[in-house]
């Protein structure tokens, strides 16, 4: 059994959806659990529906939802060549449920309504792809993953109840493969024990696929993207990026930690636990080598890995009484960051000061200043970038920092980080 994940970009146009079909057809004898995310930018559009609903701008919300409905009906009709198909009744039901939600007075949290509305994207995309696959000669079974993935009620970042979900996968999903080779499920969503829809965090479909791979003891997972594979830097920010043929689980976790937007960070652990290899491949050309992620990856050819985090703020906290910033003070400072849910991207301390780099979030910074100002002076410097290079080659750091002011630098055996203005 293999697990495949297709993201929004692979469902962005009819032409691309046909490519997805061709890829699946090229594995005729394989049992495939296919996880699919919402089409194109649907999740962003649904977020706007949720926002407007919560602001009680019901008409705008309804109009945005209507636009999403029309787009999906058009795609479905173009794929199937008709509007006379049971799929259209199924889609109608999904929209009717969403419209009911829009008719409610928002009495619960925003995150709750967000999940009830935003989960629609994956239900629509999977229903459409499943119906079209069946018509196009790829017999498959559609699964409502909300009957399988049980979570807590931490809406928008729900945590999976591992034991319950494993039981559902074994008892409900696995037997489906007795009748078909292809099972299609939604990424990104799940359900509480009260049958409320939840989401697992933006871009969470990679993680959903990894949970399936773990629980089905899959031989591999493949994430099909519109790029060649993992690159050593973001091609939108750097010229001359190269593909990484092979890389270890832990290196990918490091990349994600430093801010590379590669694969959803939660994805690796379920795979690593069962030593399931993860392939990142290009659905536009499946013959490109892509990237293999596994435990004992061959790093001999690993290029320098470059991660740039923009819109950073360097905060310097100094004690008011010139007292040393020792362990107890650092612990107090950390507690404050923790309680405000501010992630520290880099930190350094000196005798009477503590410096750290965080994402720019003016609201949070204001709360931070309030919380610290009794005991500390706080200075900050905005509009910065945090550059991280692992396995830097001679001259690369200088080349990337050319003409920039370096505010802080930190080095370890393989990693160098600089805060740049």
User: Which residues in this chain contact ligand ASP in the complex, by CB under 6 A?
Assistant: 7-8, 37-38, 43, 121, 187-188, 202-205
Cα–Cα distance, 267 to 271 (Å, whole number): 7
Q: Which is nearer to ligand ASP, 115 or 246 (CB)?
A: 115
Q: Which is nearer to Mg ion, 35 or 268 (CB)?
A: 35
Smallest separation (angstroms) from Mg ion to the CB of 37: 4
Q: Which is nearer to ligand ASP, 203 or 254 (CB)?
A: 203
Residue 190 bridge partners (DSSP): 198
Smallest separation (angstroms) from ligand ASP to the CB of 260: 16
Q: Which is nearer to ligand ASP, 120 or 313 (CB)?
A: 120
| Sole window of 3-11, 110-118, 360-368, 401-409 interacting with Mg ion (rule: CB under 5 A) | 3-11
Q: Which is nearer to ligand ASP, 114 or 376 (CB)?
A: 114
Smallest separation (angstroms) from ligand ASP to the CB of 323: 46
- In the block, residue with structure tokens 């080349």: 399
Q: How many whole angstroms from its chain centre is CA 345?
A: 19
Smallest separation (angstroms) from ligand ASP to the CB of 265: 13
Residue 20 bridge partners (DSSP): none
Q: Are strands 415-420 and 220-225 parallel, antiparallel or unpaired?
A: unpaired
Phi/psi at 309 (nearest 5 deg)? Answer: -105, 120
DSSP code for 42? H
Q: Which is nearer to Mg ion, 12 or 409 (CB)?
A: 12
| Sole window of 31-39, 92-100, 254-262, 369-377 interacting with Mg ion (rule: CB under 5 A) | 31-39
Cα–Cα distance, 405 to 419 (Å, whole number): 8
316: helix, strand or coil: strand
Cα–Cα distance, 41 to 104 (Å, whole number): 26
Smallest separation (angstroms) from Mg ion to the CB of 128: 16
Out of ligand ASP, Mg ion, none, what residue 188 binds, judged by CB under 5 to 8 A for its kind, is ligand ASP
DSSP count for the chain of H helices, then E strands: 13, 16
| Sole window of 33-41, 141-149, 247-255, 358-366 interacting with Mg ion (rule: CB under 5 A) | 33-41
Residue choice 4, 8, 125, 182 for contact with Mg ion (CB under 5 A) = 8
Smallest separation (angstroms) from Mg ion to the CB of 41: 8
Smallest separation (angstroms) from ligand ASP to the CB of 205: 3
| Sole window of 34-42, 236-244, 348-356, 381-389 interacting with Mg ion (rule: CB under 5 A) | 34-42
- In the block, residue with structure tokens 């060549």: 81
Residue 344 bridge partners (DSSP): 358
Scored b (16 or more CB within 10 A) or e, 95-113 reads beebeebbeeebeeeebbb
Out of ligand ASP, Mg ion, none, what residue 149 binds, judged by CB under 5 to 8 A for its kind, is none
Q: Which two tokens stand for residue 402?
A: 């050319």
Applying the rule CB under 5 A, the residues between 36 and 55 that interact with Mg ion are: 37
Smallest separation (angstroms) from ligand ASP to the CB of 40: 9
Q: Which is nearer to ligand ASP, 268 or 368 (CB)?
A: 268
Smallest separation (angstroms) from Mg ion to the CB of 207: 12
Sign of the CA dihedral with 223 first, then 224, 227, and 229 last: positive
Task: Give the CB-nearest residue to Mg ion.
Answer: 8
Element (H, E) at 246: strand 246-248
Out of ligand ASP, Mg ion, none, what residue 113 binds, judged by CB under 5 to 8 A for its kind, is none
Cα–Cα distance, 295 to 293 (Å, whole number): 7
The full DSSP string for 324-391 is ---HHHHHHHHHHHHHTTPPEEEEEE-SSEEEEEEE--HHHHHHHHHHHTTTEEEEEEEEEEEEEEES
| Sole window of 1-9, 284-292, 321-329, 407-415 interacting with Mg ion (rule: CB under 5 A) | 1-9
Q: Which is nearer to ligand ASP, 203 or 251 (CB)?
A: 203
| Count, residues near Mg ion per rule CB under 5 A | 2
Which positions touch Mg ion (CB under 5 A)? Answer: 8, 37
């Amino acid at each position: 059994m293999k697990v495949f994940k297709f993201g929004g970009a692979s469902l962005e146009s009819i032409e691309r959806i046909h490519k997805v079909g061709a890829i699946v057809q090229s594995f005729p004898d394989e049992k495939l659990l296919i996880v699919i995310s919402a089409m194109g930018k649907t999740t962003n559009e649904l977020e706007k529906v949720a926002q407007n609903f919560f602001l009680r701008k019901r008409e705008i919300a309804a109009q945005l939802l209507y636009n999403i409905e029309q787009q999906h009906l058009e795609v479905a009709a173009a794929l199937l060549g008709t509007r006379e198909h049971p799929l259209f009744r199924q889609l109608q039901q999904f929209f009717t449920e969403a419209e009911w939600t829009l008719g409610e007075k928002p009495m619960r949290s925003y995150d709750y309504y967000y999940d009830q509305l935003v989960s629609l994207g994956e239900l629509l995309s999977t229903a459409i792809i499943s119906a079209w696959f069946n018509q196009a000669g790829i017999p498959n079974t559609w699964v409502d993953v909300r009957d399988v993935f049980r979570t807590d009620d931490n809406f928008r970042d729900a945590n999976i109840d591992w034991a319950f979900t494993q039981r559902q996968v074994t008892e409900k999903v696995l037997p489906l493969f007795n009748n078909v080779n292809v099972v299609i499920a939604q990424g990104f969503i799940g359900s509480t024990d009260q049958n409320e829809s939840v989401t697992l965090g933006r871009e969470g479909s990679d993680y959903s696929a990894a949970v399936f791979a773990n629980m089905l003891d899959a031989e591999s997972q493949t994430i099909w993207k519109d790029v060649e594979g993992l690159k050593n830097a973001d091609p939108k920010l750097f010229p001359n990026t190269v593909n990484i043929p092979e890389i270890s689980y832990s290196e990918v976790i490091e990349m994600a930690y430093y801010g590379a937007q590669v694969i959803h960070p939660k994805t690796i652990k379920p795979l690593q636990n069962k030593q399931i290899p993860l392939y990142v491949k290009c659905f536009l050309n499946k013959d490109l080598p892509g990237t293999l992620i596994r435990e004992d990856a061959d790093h001999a050819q690993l290029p320098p890995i470059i991660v740039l985090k923009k819109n950073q703020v360097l905060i310097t906290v100094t004690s008011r009484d010139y007292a040393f910033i020792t362990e107890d003070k650092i612990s107090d400072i950390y507690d404050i960051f923790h309680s405000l849910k501010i992630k520290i991207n880099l930190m350094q301390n000196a005798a009477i000061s503590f410096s750290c780099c965080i994402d720019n979030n003016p609201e949070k910074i204001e709360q931070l200043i309030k919380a610290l100002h009794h005991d500390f002076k706080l200075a900050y410097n905005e509009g910065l970038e945090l550059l991280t290079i692992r396995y830097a080659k001679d001259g690369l750091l200088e080349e990337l920092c050319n003409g920039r002011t370096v505010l802080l630098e930190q080095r370890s055996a393989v990693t160098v980080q600089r805060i740049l203005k």
